[in-house]
Amino acid sequence: MYGWRARIGMVMAEVNTAMEPEFNRLAPEGVSMHASRVHVSGVSVQDMTTPDDALISAVKLLAELNPRVIAYSCNGSNITGGLEGEAAQARVISEASGRPAVMAATAVLEAIAALGVGKVSFGTLYPPDLNDSNTAFWKTCGVDVLHTGGVNMGGKRKPEPPYSSEPTSLIGLQSPHLAYNLARSIYEQDKRAEAIVIIGGNVRTIEVADAFETDFGIPFISTNLALFWASLQVAGVREPIKGYGRLLAEQPRLKWVRLKDST
């Protein structure tokens, strides 16, 4: 039986092409991943909000699988909605499924706390207005933010031949090397950073986490790495997973600095 150890439900934007492959690649023996999707119009402050009815529909499908936890991968939605908005979405998920919810932004906060880092710089593939919201959000959460920067891949989605003849996410088409170079660029702008966080559930990151940490000596955290780690912790699976950075290799226990307020 698949998922004899734990089944983890995933909710993501319909164009997210990174979360499922990354979670399945990271999953230890006996842990299975099961996905549902919601519509997100584009990468901007106006387009990132997911209506509750769409979220409930997606979550109820997953509830039939009896998952141990449901992970929601939409940092932009969390960030634009603020702490109260994120907690409200977590309650919607939990009430619709009867299962704990792990939100993307909460998972990042838990990872920062579990690794014991202070000053943090963030890298995104967002437009400037969403970067401003990103910085404000993390400061509100008590994170000592040194810098937020990145590559603007926001705006409406459009076809990108030869990859797709239909609208697709420009972010999802990027290689993981973009995440490494983005993290390096952010770190080199202020070397006081004690960790670099790459934000976005559709950004490929897991392949470069170890290389970045080897080269620069500080933790590399991403939305998907943090969300996967936190979901395993909530599910009661704490097996070290080597090759993808400190967070998964060391499996530090949750501090519950925020998660208890969101589930």
Dump pLDDT digits (tens) for 48-79: 456 788 899 999 999 999 999 999 987 655 56
> From CA 183, how far away is CA 60, in angstroms rounded?
36
What's the one-letter identity of residue 218?
I
What's the one-letter identity of residue 216?
F
What would the pLDDT profile of 24-51 be if each residue is shown by its tens digit? 999 999 999 999 999 875 444 444 456 7
For residue 73, how far is the Cα from the chain centroid?
5
Hey, do 6-107+224-262 and 115-222 end up sharing a CATH topology, with the first three levels equal? Answer: yes
> From CA 83, how far away is CA 95, in angstroms rounded?
18
- For the domain made up of 115-222, the CATH class stated in words is alpha beta
Cβ–Cβ < 8 Å for 122, 254: no
Alpha carbon separation from 106 to 84, 97, 151, 226 (Å, rounded): 12, 19, 23, 9
Domain segments of the chain as ranges: 6-107+224-262, 115-222
DSSP letter at 201?
T
For residue 168, how far is the Cα from the chain centroid?
19
| Low-confidence spans in the chain with pLDDT less than 70 | 41-50, 75-80, 129, 151-172, 261-263
CATH topology of domain 6-107+224-262: Rossmann fold (3.40.50)
> From CA 263, how far away is CA 251, in angstroms rounded?
21
